[in-house]
Structure 1
Amino acid sequence: MTINESLLTSYQKKFNSNSANHAVKQAIAKVGIADASIDNNMFRRHSFVFSDETNRGDITNQKSSGRCWMFAALNTARVDTMKKLDIKTFEFSQNYTLFWDKLEKSNYFLENIIDTVEEPLNSRLVQHLLFDPIQDGGQWDMFSGLLEKYGAVPKSVMPETYHSSNTRDLNSLLTGKLRDFAAKLRDAYKAGKTKEDLLVQKDEYLYFVYNLLVKTLGEVPTTFTYEYKDKEDKFHRIKDITPQDFFKEYVAWDLEDRVSLINAPTEDKPYGKAYTVKYLGTVKEAKPVTYINVPIDVLKDAAVTAIKDGEPVWFGCDVGKMLDRKAGIMDHHAYDYEATLGDTIELTKAQRLDYGESLLTHAMVFVGVDLDEDGKPINWKVENSWGDTSGDKGIYSMSDKWFEEYNYQITVSRKYVDEKWLKALKEPVTELEPWDPMGALAMVQ
């Protein structure tokens, strides 16, 4: 059957037979589909009052960059720093970690290009590697590798630059140059160079990346002095400390203790198993990205327990679904598309993953939860990194049903996870293909 005049006439008659269609059409023309479809009862469901909360710092702003995963991780870490330094708020330098992430990602990409020089250029794997080699996004284990190797510094030690807050042009230039390097490496291999020869060539290319990053992001400190005043207005000076030692002393995390839990209810990923994603990483020598797939209630229970224990929780979700960004509300029924459009998307969470409708896009921090009389979550308090002009001065509220449908990952201390799930880490880890939805990177601005 083709689209023809008779079919279009029948569609027109059907549309005009329902007078409500005309009212909806006028409303959408005036304010757009989202605002015309908003469910005002959503605001009644979110009071922004929570029964249990953790400490947190001032709201941060990633600006025009996809560094949400860095902001979320550092905003989680800073709570321990604030306690150790006895200060009201603190912010780490996200520019410092961005510098190392770009350099390490470039090295990771070039190493992978050398590893795959025998693959056809048009193979799915090589094209995947070339697609977006230096984007801003990442996942928890990728950032853990950066913290382990490079530590962290206060924001004043390596402040923002134009290109750390506005990464598009930097990424575009660097992406083009890395693809240029990839072509040269593959051509050199065809011309008879060995992989050992290519590694020498790669080091020359990596210097170009380093040179570019110093010019756009600034030179990274090897040691620094940090001055601050505590809650009692008493002056302190930390002298000549390395970024690695600052992280070890003033965050003092055992990064091996942190575990990532995911909820991917698809047939190809049985619960209770550990998974990794091929060719996904930042620091080449770091441990591979690893998650345990568990039922959604396991994520909830671990997050609630951590919050009640005073620990913020890093998480990754599909933030664009059912979000009222201005109000700062993530609600399972934020928009009543069935009322305005006559239908709504009926895919299950598993189907959304399988059919490309949803994946992890953004990382934030749980800093509270509102529990009912039975200890079950009603809404979750979320610290975002989009500045203080949306939500409750940068704080968002997430319904528990939204958590079930669109939250995919949390990272917590092992002590908050039952041993029956942790034992998956002692068993063989299943490798997922590079294009698996669980390999998606948090990078929404």
Structure 2
Amino acid sequence: MHSLEQNFTDKLYAAYEANPKYAALENAISHNGLLVSLEKRSSAVDNTPVFSIDLTKDKVSNQKASGRCWMFAALNTFRHKMISDFQLEDFELSQAHTFFWDKYEKSNWFLEQILATVDLELTSRKVKFLLDTPQQDGGQWDMVVSLFEKYGVVPKAIYPESVSSSNSRELNQMLNKLLRQDAQILRELVKDGVDPSTLQVKKEELLQEIFNFLAMNLGLPPRRFDFSYRDKENHFHSENNLTPQEFYRKYVDLHLDDYVSIINAPTADKPYGRSYTVEMLGNVVGSKPVRYLNVEMDRLKELAIAQMQAGETVWFGSDVGQSSNRKAGIMDKGIYDFTSSMDLHLTQDKAGRLDYSESLMTHAMVLTGVDLDEDGRSKKWKVENSWGDKVGNKGYFVASDAWMDQYTYQIVVRKEFLSAEELVAYEAEPIVLAPWDPMGALAK
């Protein structure tokens, strides 16, 4: 190993002081901040919010201080359909309702994973992986599908936000404290040799405690409710005594088995044209496992465009913080000029960023438009975010095509847009990825 010697540091000083550009940048960045100082004006010009396909201008929702983007994105695709089908105005489905049942199911999932790994040492990587984060807000498409299929959906007016759904930090801290304690209780009971029935009784007691905790924080979810609304023509509609499942079947009316997750992971360990799943990833015990089909990026974009051309928005997952200006709502690979200004050369490609933990899917949003050239190729994309209407263009963002190539990892499209060969590959026995694989990242 080599230590840093003073004569080497002196050379660094000399090289820096010999370049007057660095002094100018030092003044600009120290006063204004790194990204503001390096943002290119041309990025805003190249990414004006005008699109050849533009499917919605519905008011943007706000997940606030929570990691529920994957739920918001899915429920936004549903509400766009409902607003169109039933001529609604400013309508939202309850994200808090899905949030409650996700916390409940994730708690059971965690306890079942603890029991499944009870023969492993506490120091094993899998047990440590579980205990590091017993549960969190984030998720993936197949996980939210499991919740909708089991628990349905309700209008936001029926199950509104609470402090703990809008700002989930305290809830998560306490719930994870309970779950780690419960993990110790269950592991010690197994070590003491209790019979399976006694173990199950204890687990159910622990889940009752968790259910009570969630209900007191988020509110007790409704089993039945009445739904009434006025449409855009001011006609009144009302229906009584609906269950959340009945409401979903009647008012959303989407067959979620018709949708598949498509990913772009260009790493050497994930050949294209194969299906993948992730060990220990899920929320609802007994539901279908998470599954993806890995395709090249050009094909992923073709599928997204095909669905939007058919009039339907697209759930997608990306690394939202990369090359992004949140306030302006612009996501552009070239938005910040590090090379000509600071002489920094960012040479990692998409595969390298995945392999070396520089990037992964962090956030789910909705593609609601795309700008196509005369040959039908994408130039920029319209993105519905869930950060409220104070950012971007009333909450909508613009993603350059180059940004999509580099930082988008997943979309959800109808099976009908896949080729026969792709559908066979998706249905084939999936390759199982490790629990900590970057493609198992949860969107927040």
| TM bracket, shorter-chain basis | over 0.9
Deviation of 1:426 after TM superposition, in Å, equals 2.9
Identity of aligned residues (%): 47
Distance in 2 of aligned mates of 1:393 and 1:399: 18
Aligned to 2:266: 265
Superposition pairs for residues 235-274 of structure 1, below 5 Å? 235-274=236-275
One-letter amino acid matched to 2:62 = N
Distance in 2 of aligned mates of 1:179 and 1:442: 23
Give CA deviations for 1:129-155 in whole Å, capped at 9, x if unaligned: 111122100000000000000010000
Aligned to 1:404: 405
2:10 is the counterpart of 1:9:
yes
Aligned to 1:114: 115
The more displaced of 417-426 and 44-53 is 417-426
Aligned to 1:432: 433
Distance in 1 of aligned mates of 2:198 and 2:16: 67
Give CA deviations for 1:260-285 in whole Å, capped at 9, x if unaligned: 00000111111111100011001111
Aligned to 1:311: 312
Deviation of 1:203 after TM superposition, in Å, equals 0.8
Superposition pairs for residues 119-134 of structure 1, below 5 Å? 119-134=120-135
2:406 is the counterpart of 1:391:
no
Superposition pairs for residues 31-430 of structure 1, below 5 Å? 31-55=32-56, 57-430=58-431
Deviation of 1:235 after TM superposition, in Å, equals 1.0
Deviation of 1:238 after TM superposition, in Å, equals 1.7
Distance in 2 of aligned mates of 1:217 and 1:348: 42
Deviation of 1:346 after TM superposition, in Å, equals 1.0
Q: Does structure 2 retain, via aligned residues, the 8 Å contact 1:57–1:78? A: no
Distance in 2 of aligned mates of 1:265 and 1:105: 30
The secondary structure found in structure 1 opposite 2:303 is helix
Distance in 1 of aligned mates of 2:90 and 2:10: 64
Distance in 1 of aligned mates of 2:150 and 2:57: 25
Deviation of 1:14 after TM superposition, in Å, equals 0.5
Q: Does structure 1 retain, via aligned residues, the 8 Å contact 2:108–2:285? A: yes
TM-score of the pair, normalised by structure 2: 0.98
Distance in 1 of aligned mates of 2:9 and 2:84: 67
Deviation of 1:197 after TM superposition, in Å, equals 3.1
Q: Does structure 2 retain, via aligned residues, the 8 Å contact 1:269–1:293? A: yes
The secondary structure found in structure 2 opposite 1:113 is helix
The secondary structure found in structure 2 opposite 1:210 is helix
Distance in 1 of aligned mates of 2:246 and 2:161: 22
One-letter amino acid matched to 2:66 = S
Deviation of 1:200 after TM superposition, in Å, equals 2.1
Distance in 2 of aligned mates of 1:171 and 1:315: 25
One-letter amino acid matched to 1:286 = S
Deviation of 1:339 after TM superposition, in Å, equals 2.7
Provide the aligned C-alpha RMSD in A. 1.0
Distance in 2 of aligned mates of 1:74 and 1:344: 40
Q: Does structure 2 retain, via aligned residues, the 8 Å contact 1:64–1:166? A: yes
Q: Does structure 2 retain, via aligned residues, the 8 Å contact 1:277–1:431? A: yes
Deviation of 1:86 after TM superposition, in Å, equals 1.9
Give CA deviations for 1:111-135 in whole Å, capped at 9, x if unaligned: 1001110011000000011111221
The secondary structure found in structure 1 opposite 2:389 is coil
Distance in 2 of aligned mates of 1:17 and 1:196: 76
Deviation of 1:343 after TM superposition, in Å, equals 1.1
The secondary structure found in structure 2 opposite 1:157 is coil
Q: Does structure 1 retain, via aligned residues, the 8 Å contact 2:276–2:293? A: yes
TM-score of the pair, normalised by structure 1: 0.98
Q: Does structure 2 retain, via aligned residues, the 8 Å contact 1:37–1:339? A: no
Deviation of 1:56 after TM superposition, in Å, equals 5.1
The secondary structure found in structure 1 opposite 2:262 is strand
Q: Does structure 2 retain, via aligned residues, the 8 Å contact 1:61–1:385? A: yes
Deviation of 1:37 after TM superposition, in Å, equals 1.3
Give CA deviations for 1:57-90 in whole Å, capped at 9, x if unaligned: 3110000000000000000011221223222332
One-letter amino acid matched to 1:432 = L
Aligned to 2:26: 25
Q: Does structure 2 retain, via aligned residues, the 8 Å contact 1:53–1:308? A: no
Aligned length: 443
Q: Specify every segment of 5 or more residues in structure 2 that has no aligned partner in the other structure, as ranges.
A: none
Distance in 2 of aligned mates of 1:109 and 1:35: 42
The secondary structure found in structure 2 opposite 1:225 is strand
Deviation of 1:196 after TM superposition, in Å, equals 4.2
One-letter amino acid matched to 1:368 = G
Distance in 2 of aligned mates of 1:163 and 1:344: 43
Q: Does structure 1 retain, via aligned residues, the 8 Å contact 2:324–2:331? A: yes
Q: Does structure 2 retain, via aligned residues, the 8 Å contact 1:65–1:136? A: yes
The secondary structure found in structure 1 opposite 2:135 is coil
Q: Does structure 1 retain, via aligned residues, the 8 Å contact 2:59–2:389? A: no
Q: Specify every segment of 5 or more residues in structure 1 that has no aligned partner in the other structure, as ranges.
A: none
One-letter amino acid matched to 2:119 = E
The secondary structure found in structure 1 opposite 2:203 is helix
One-letter amino acid matched to 2:413 = V
The secondary structure found in structure 2 opposite 1:48 is coil
